[in-house]
Each structure stands twice: as C-alpha cells, then as structure tokens.
Amino acid sequence: MSETPAAWLARLKVAFPRWSIDRVPPGKGAGFIARRRLPGARSQSLYAPTLAELEYELRIAARVGPTGSGVDAGRQHHTDRLARYLSRGV
C-alpha cells in the first residue's frame, strides 16, 4: 500500500520537529518549503519540488547541522536553488 502525499507530509513533520514544513501556497508555484531557526537569530530554508526531494534535503541538513556563521557553506546549491525559486515571483 502506498503512502498518500498528506500522510508523507505529516510523517516528515513528525520526523523533523524543529522544521516548519509546508506546501508552497497556491498561486505561488509548486513544491514544499521547510524552515528552521538557527542560533544568532538566523534562519535556514529549503525548497524542493517533491516530498521525496524535501526529505532528502532535510536528512542532509540534519546530518550536517549548523556550522556557525557559515551554515551550509559547503552546500551553497541549496541557497542558490531557493533563490532561483523565489526569484520566479514567489
């Protein structure tokens, strides 16, 4: 039996409680966004077009964790990807 998208989204919210995980609002595009607060009043956001990709990105972020002022410095593609998505008028 396959998992519904709603059940998958609920499972991700339970698996990653420090993240706020939501669908991209209607009319703003497609996909999912995850956000969390970091030390020093900073935040981190991830965008993925599918739940599978978002789960992958969340697992990487959980494994790497915050690294101080250079959070995700080695994974700049996440920031670039989010910036490209947001520049589309979201």
User: pTM of the predicted model, to two decimals?
Assistant: 0.66
The per-residue pLDDT for range 5-15, each reduced to its tens digit, is 899 999 999 99
* CA-wise closest residue to 54 among 3, 9, 18, 4: 9
Distance CA 34, CA 57 (A): 9
Here the tokens at position 83 are: 């910036």
Answer whether residue 85 shows pLDDT above 50.
Answer: yes
Domain positions in the chain are 5-86
The per-residue pLDDT for range 26-82, each reduced to its tens digit, is 888 899 999 999 888 889 999 999 999 999 999 998 886 555 545 444 445 556 666
